[in-house]
Amino acid sequence: MKMVPPAPANRPNLEIYADAEALAHCCLELFCDCAAEAIQARGYFYTAIPGGKTPRRFFELLGGTTEGRLPAWDKIHLFWSDERCVPPDSAESNYRVAAEAFLNKVPIPEKNVHRVLTELGDWPLAARRYEQSIRDAFGPPTGQSPHFDLIILGMGSDGHIASLFRGSCAVLDKKNLVAAVNSPNVSPADRITFTPALLTAASAILVLITGMEKAQIVRRVFTGPPNEIDYPVHVLFSVLHKTIFLLDAPAAELIHST
Ligand code: 6PG
């Protein structure tokens, strides 16, 4: 994968930036490079973005890109790696956060914005519908998981990614691409999430981790033995060759860059 520099064998590919602003600019560069390559090679760029606070500066930068800087928006298919089971106009909605930060500012066709239909109110149904919308967007079934060109994730202070939380059976879901989960330790508890099968099928994965509040979990997940149930971010340790962890210095404070 041209965009992702080769990681040392079986070691996480960590890139450390002075601060969250520098990290957001790097994320924008990687996003644009990946988009340009995918569109040139295959005509379209399939990507998924996370919720949470970490990607918001990247989203703002994305909203400020001029047409010349970013490839044609009509060639980009946008999904969410997870969504909270709240109405799309809720302040907690990952879709609404992205819409306000960049979607409402760029000429991406509405048909290319694939949000989770959280107005359904039936979360397993919403997960099945979202999975079908992913399959439909990728075209005729190939018998394999659809390969996103780029999936961007954050990581929680407990080591979760997307809405794959500690102890969740969705972490072990090998059958579905999308799952409905209920995690009483977070609010809102009901979420729709990509499963590891879909995440790890991507051609490239970026995990954005910023802030000193993440320093402890960064040390734990990058120095301890892989344990997907306790630290779902470890599902990515099977695909380190196509994953880059972007950290700012405060988040990386307790580890040495590799
Ligand atoms: C969500 C996210 C979630 C997030 C992590 C990190 O819907 O909340 O997708 O997985 O990426 O919880 O959140 P912060 O970026 O706010 O630390």
Q: What is the pLDDT of residues 100-150, one digit of tens each?
A: 999 999 999 999 999 999 999 999 999 999 999 999 999 887 778 899 999
Atom in ligand 1 nearest the alpha carbon of residue 162: 10
CB 12 less than 6 A from any atom of ligand 1: no
Helix then strand then coil, % of the chain, to nearest 5: 40, 20, 45
Which DSSP state fits 172? G
| pLDDT of residue 177 exceeding 90 | yes
What is the reported pTM?
0.95
Q: In what order do the strands lie in the sheet with 82-84?
A: 82-84, 190-194, 178-182
CB 154 less than 6 A from any atom of ligand 1: yes
Candidates 96, 151, 160: which one to mutate for ligand 1, based on the most atoms within 8 Å of Cβ? 160
Letter string b/e over residues 187-216, b meaning 16 or more CB atoms within 10 A of that residue's CB:
eeebbbbbbbbbbbbbbbbbbbbbeeebbe
Gap from CA of 82 to ligand 1 centroid (Å): 9
Question: What average pLDDT score do residues 44-56 get?
Answer: 98
